Amino acid sequence: MTASRRTTIGHAGSLPKGVARRLEILDRAIEVFRERGADGTSLRRIAEAIGVSHAALLHYFDSREQLLVAVYAHAESQRHLAEGPAAPSGMDRMIAAAMANVDVPGLVQLYTTLVAASLESRSEVGKEFFTARFARIRESLTAELREGQQAGTVRDDVPAEHLAALIIAASDGLQIQWLLDPAVGLEAPLRSLAAMLEPR
Amino acid sequence: MTASRRTTIGHAGSLPKGVARRLEILDRAIEVFRERGADGTSLRRIAEAIGVSHAALLHYFDSREQLLVAVYAHAESQRHLAEGPAAPSGMDRMIAAAMANVDVPGLVQLYTTLVAASLESRSEVGKEFFTARFARIRESLTAELREGQQAGTVRDDVPAEHLAALIIAASDGLQIQWLLDPAVGLEAPLRSLAAMLEPR
């Protein structure tokens, strides 16, 4: 957390007061969710745990779902900042992201809860966020895999866009199986998937 | 639905009245969830939609979560009965199951909602059901893949248990991406995964 905290303080120094306060709330909320995820907690109880008033929380976020999506997006962007400019290749990045979640089961739970909620017809914020998020990750991963196919480092008997969708799906699905039963492992099966991407 | 209805009527004729009534409720509930999933509906509203009293529903199910898990388990067992004894191989079965869900987006949503809920610390019914379900599917798929490895039809450079966990994870994760954006496809990427299982 040291790196991400520094990042936030950096924000706070250079951003308008409202934006900085919003980021502070998100940082606190991540800490709250780190252990156990959202676990059905109401916005009021989240406010208590964060140490702000319910009204203050509603000033920054219209609904519980909007707060939770913002918390998840903030946690994800912190991770990207922490990764720095020398980002590893797509598959290694997915493995690194999944492994980073080993220390924060609450974020995996929050992610799964939010994805599930985004499938419900009432959810607009979530549906929009996750549809865009999946599309963005698939697109960048597809481009990277296609380059690998051209360079001969990735198998080319399967379309790059299928590989991208499968890698994301496997990573998401494995984290759920691992949360329910840690014996399933996370890094080892993902390394096996990486081996399956190699040219035949 | 013709096949599953026949199955239920078959049950109703040979089972104690309470059990038959419980199955009738589950059949009706599946119809209700077929289109839109659970979508945060209360037990009271589910009872209305099913056409039984709230009290009658509580006689058969202790909680909303218990009803939803039972609905999902019932839908899954109907599918197994419909498949018949000549079941295809593990990977084909996963593809067939995923494709069967194309017609019932509500069940994919119900499944994802229940899996997400099962990760919450308050959930006992769900955690137990899905931990056991994943373990059971992983075990049978692993045994089948190991046989394939011995017969030379499945790649053996990767442990069978990794392959099993990855296939289940990819199938679960893809269904979510597909629900949010049908352009991702479901059968085509799963067929690509099947191709990746072939010996090198």
Helices (H), A15-124: 17-36, 43-50, 54-60, 64-83, 90-100, 105-118
Considering CB atoms only, which of A165, A166, A176 is closest to B115? A176
Instruction: Give the whole-angstrom CA distance, residue A12 versus residue A33.
Output: 22
Q: CB of B94 within 8 A of CB of B170?
A: no
Lowest mean pLDDT among B62-76, B103-117, B119-133, B167-181: B103-117
What is the average per-residue pLDDT within A81-88? 59
pLDDT above 90 covers a percentage of chain A that reads 36
pLDDT band at A85 (very low <50, low <70, confident <90, very high): low
Candidates A174, A177, A198: best to mutate against B (most CBs of B within 10 A) is A177
> Looking up tokens 């990042």, which residue turns up?
A7
Q: What is the CATH number of domain A1-86?
A: 1.10.10.60
pLDDT score recorded for residue A4: 42
pLDDT at residue B184, rounded to an integer: 95
Cβ neighbours of B122 in A, within 8 Å: 39-40
Q: What is the pLDDT of residues B84-97, one digit of tens each?
A: 555 567 778 778 87
Please state the length of chain B.
200
A174 touches chain B (CB under 8 A): yes
Delimiting residues of CATH 1.10.10.60 domain(s) in chain A: 1-86
Tokens of B147: 């046989």
Predicted confidence at residue A7, as pLDDT, reads: 42
pLDDT of the residue at A84: 58
Over residues A165-184, the mean pLDDT reads 94
Q: What residue type is B157 in one-letter code?
A: D
Residues 6+ apart with CB under 8 A from A108: A37, A101, A175, A176, A179, B119
Instruction: Pick the residue of B180, B181, B186, B191 with the most A CBs within 10 A to test the interface with A by mutation.
Output: B180
Q: Which tops the pLDDT comparison, B99 or A150?
A: A150
Token pair for A66: 């909007």
pLDDT given at position A63: 84
Nearest-neighbour CA in chain A from B84: distance (Å) = 28
Predicted local confidence at residue A108, as pLDDT: 83
Average pLDDT on A22-39 reads 79
In angstroms, what separates the C-alpha of B200 from chain A's closest C-alpha?
A: 6
Q: What are the strands, taking DSSP E only, across A109-183?
A: none
The token pair at A78 is 């912190």
Contacts of B106 (CB under 8 A, 6+ apart): B33, B34, B35, B36, B37
**Token pair 């399967």: residue:** A158
Mark out the alpha helices in B2-104 (DSSP H runs): 2-14, 17-36, 43-50, 54-60, 64-83, 90-100
**A78/B166 Cα distance (integer angstroms):** 28
Structure tokens at A83: 């990764």
Please name the residues between 99 and 138 in chain B that touch chain A, using a CB distance below 8 Å. Answer: 108-109, 112-113, 115-122, 127, 130-131, 134-135, 138
> What's the whole-number mean pLDDT along residues B119-146?
90
- Which chain A residue lies closest to B128 (C-alpha atoms)? A180
Location of each CATH 1.10.357.10 domain in chain A: 88-200
Residue type, B188: A
CATH hierarchy code of domain B88-200: 1.10.357.10
Lowest-pLDDT range of A165-174, B67-76, B116-125, B146-155: B116-125
